[in-house]
Amino acid sequence: MARPRAKELTERELEIMQIFWDHGEQSAQELRDRLDESGRDLAYTTVATLVRILHEKGFIEQTIEERPFKFQPVRSFEEVSGNLVNDLLGRVFGGSREKLLVSLVGQKKLSKKERDALRQLLEEQDS
């Protein structure tokens, strides 16, 4: 019996979605070429299958009806990443944002840019 499809993204599906978010509308061949440029040599059929799965899951939509078919993201990076972070928060940290923050900040010293971004977020929360 086949395993049911995950509602969220697998690692490879996320890799494909990153290309859509970074470059917009793509065909399966364009996706394969971009992956190849970044050192990921996947067969065209593998990429086409991933595109089909993403379409079935509702992450992308077909924009051109004739070949080569082109697709664009339906769900934004912010929406998908937020869902993944919330899933991680619940499954790993028991819903505790404090534990997640301590884990993130405690891993290594924050750069000046990271500290500034964190300060800005905290100041916005106080407003």
The count of domains in the chain is: 1
Residues 6+ apart with CB under 8 A from 42: 32, 35, 36
Q: Dihedral angle at the C-alpha atoms of 22, 27, 31, 36, nearest 10 degrees?
A: -140
Output the pTM of the full model.
0.80
Q: How confident is the model at residue 104 (pLDDT cuts 50, 70, 90)?
A: confident
Per the domain annotation, does 78 fall within a domain? yes
Residue 109 lies in a domain: no
38 falls within a domain: yes
pLDDT at residue 109, rounded to an integer:
86
Domain hosting 78: range is 1-95
- Residue 5 has what pLDDT? 54
Q: Report the CATH number that the domain containing residue 44 is assigned in CATH.
A: 1.10.10.10
Per residue in 63-89, pLDDT tens?
988 999 999 999 999 999 999 999 999
The whole-chain average pLDDT of the chain stands at: 91
Domain membership of residue 19 (yes or no) is yes
6 pLDDT higher than 80: no
How many Cα atoms within 13 Å fall on the side-chain side of residue 106?
Answer: 6
* pLDDT of 62 above 50: yes
| pLDDT bracket for residue 106 (50, 70, 90) | confident
